[in-house]
Structure 1
Amino acid sequence: MVAEPNNWGRFGPADQRGTLNLLTPGAVLDALRSAVTGEVLSLALPIRGSTSSPAPGTVPHLKGRPLPQHFMSVDGGDYAAGARPVGAGLRVADDALIVSHHGTTTHMDALCHMWSGDELYNGHPAARVRSYGATRCGIEQVGGVVGRGVLFDVPRRLGLDHLPAGHRITPEELEACGPEPRPGDVAVVRTGWPAVWRRSREEYWSGQPGLSAEAGRWLAARDVAVVASDNAAIGGLDERQLAGEGLEDDLHLILLHRHGVHLVEMLWLEELSARERTEFVFVVAPLGIEGGTGSPVNPLAVL
């Protein structure tokens, strides 16, 4: 059992959804009041594969990770022998998609994605996670998320296009962005770092800004349902693309493992930032991958 405050047992001994339990029907209805104009923004990076143009290298990703591959059965150049006829002169193009989503595209982490010792979130045995999938805390437990999104646009608050690679966001910086998150909110944290990719891949790979451990604890103490960010790991990364914190301060362990807070990573938040809206309706639904450690997603902001 972990030593610092956590949500183990809070929602029952069998719970596999963590703080998503706070998104009750009443909380969802209350969140819908955050929409004012009805404009819908996608917060996802595109998935560009082997048959798409431009090439997949134009999308931010962690170095060395296998990129998504998208194949289409149109001209026989990919996984099938061409578009199949369906009668009356019609033709159909099919798709095949291979995605290793962690570190390569916009995705949601399941509570089984990371743990310490022999237990997952809520004390579920880590032995339940195997090559055939996780029988506890898999991404299929999420279903759909509809909540009030709260944007913490830290670089805009500081007058910057993006935070420096070594910047670690403090609780005070989150508090200065406002508004105060409520239980069940989705905390959306902008660093601006994905825009660096367009300038230089090597700069993008030199490290990443992100939440400090204390900022993660600040959000967890406010009972947010989800933490989402445009960086690759919620917390910051060093030049080796690794988190520098020890186990006690690792953001994934603080949020996923101890508090049952799901994470959404590698968002594209530039258009949302330009709207200067701090509150909106946040909608996301991962694929129902049984036993999956995560899923690619297309989060939406309803303004």
Structure 2
Amino acid sequence: MAMKDVARRNWGRWGADDEQGALNLVDAKKVLEAVDLVRQGRIVSLAQPVGPKAGAPPHRNRGSRFMDRDAGDYALGARSPGGFRFAEDTVQMSTHSGTHVDALAHVWTGDKLYNGHPSTQLRSTTGAQKLGADKLRPVLTRGILVDLVDAFGGPLEPSTPIGSAELIEACSRSNVTPLPGDAVLLHTGWWQSQGGNASYFDLEPGLSDDGARWLADHDVALVGADNYAVEVQPDPDGKNFPVHLRLLHGEGIPLIENLDLHELAMAGAPTFLFVLSPIPLQGSTGSPVTPLAVL
């Protein structure tokens, strides 16, 4: 996709130095309106399990765990002053493993990152000096569940594109419309039907470029899905990750990948308080997260 094909409506919208993109839309008024949605006091985790046993696409390393101290150390004679014993471990994994949010430094085209920041700000020795995960501030906003499973009678088939027509149909059935600053979550049923299988990382149903444009037109702050890349794979027009380029690079809208939306869908709550708190990993291009829906 050539750079001229990517809309850049939010470049400069919040100033030349902006690194937060569409998260700027979540202001104090939006937070207070979202908190007012809570009725039951029920908290639903939207995260998939993560760790060494979790799957990973072929181009990423699987996670690994190293026990720094465990029961075996004491069996071999490690000191236990006063009977106190402890266990600790170190986990290594890609910041794009499991449920995570893509920072705005994750993708680009040409030689400019989101908002015109030069791509030279992204180096293997320093990480992302601009637009990294440490620039993704915590978010409380209105969440919308776009339940495509309910709208179309079951989990979507492999490589099903979700365009504006499908989004409009699903939103109409739930009587919701995306508003500026919303977090829009797409329930495709892909994790429900394929989670834990190698096929989860191949031929996923997901957002098309047309659907991404429709969401951007509604000025949403975040987009997430219960698949590994948010967008349909492969792209029906033969482009390389056009949704990533449109939303992350062009609009400054972070993407949340690998959600588990089944419990939320079963709760029948199309709108809710959405909570997201990325780990401020300095220079990283993404952050593991445990998003929450508060009903």
TM-score by length of 2: 0.90
Secondary structure at 1:282's aligned position in 2? strand
Opposite residue 67 of structure 1, the aligned amino acid is: R
Unaligned runs of 5+ in 1: 50-55
Name the structure 2 match of 1:190: 187
CA distance in 2, matches of 1:60, 1:191: 19
Opposite residue 227 of structure 1, the aligned amino acid is: V
Is the counterpart of residue 142 in structure 1 residue 142 in structure 2?
Answer: no
CA distance in 2, matches of 1:82, 1:46: 32
* CA 1:75–1:184: 2 relative to 1, 3 Å: same
Name the structure 2 match of 1:155: 149
Name the structure 2 match of 1:53: none
Name the structure 2 match of 1:18: 21
Name the structure 2 match of 1:52: none
CA distance in 2, matches of 1:185, 1:273: 17
Alpha-carbon contact 1:235-1:243 (below 8 Å) kept: no
Alpha-carbon contact 2:45-2:292 (below 8 Å) kept: yes
Q: CA deviation at 1:183?
A: 0.4
TM-score by length of 1: 0.88
Unaligned runs of 5+ in 2: none
CA distance in 1, matches of 2:76, 2:206: 45
* CA 1:115–1:85: 2 relative to 1, 3 Å: farther
CA distance in 1, matches of 2:29, 2:77: 48
Name the structure 2 match of 1:246: 239
- Give the counterpart of 2:254 among 242, 262, 265: 262
Alpha-carbon contact 1:83-1:92 (below 8 Å) kept: no
Is the counterpart of residue 95 in structure 1 residue 100 in structure 2?
Answer: no
CA distance in 2, matches of 1:205, 1:110: 21
Is the counterpart of residue 67 in structure 1 residue 62 in structure 2?
Answer: yes
Task: Give 1:1-303 correspondences, 5 Å limit.
Answer: 2=4, 4-49=7-52, 56=53, 59-72=54-67, 73-76=69-72, 87-102=81-96, 104-131=97-124, 132-160=126-154, 162-178=155-171, 179-197=176-194, 201-238=197-234, 245-246=238-239, 250-303=242-295
Secondary structure at 2:212's aligned position in 1? helix
Encode CA deviations 1:56-105: one digit per residue, 9 max, x unaligned: 1xx4532352112233321358xx99897674311121121111132x31
RMSD: 2.3
CA distance in 2, matches of 1:206, 1:129: 28
Range moving further from structure 2, 147-156 or 172-181: 172-181
Opposite residue 136 of structure 2, the aligned amino acid is: V
Encode CA deviations 1:181-218: one digit per residue, 9 max, x unaligned: 110000001111112335x8254344100001010010
CA distance in 1, matches of 2:78, 2:264: 40
Encode CA deviations 1:204-255: one digit per residue, 9 max, x unaligned: 34410000101001001111110011111111123xxx886425x7000000
Q: CA deviation at 1:2?
A: 4.3
CA distance in 2, matches of 1:87, 1:204: 48
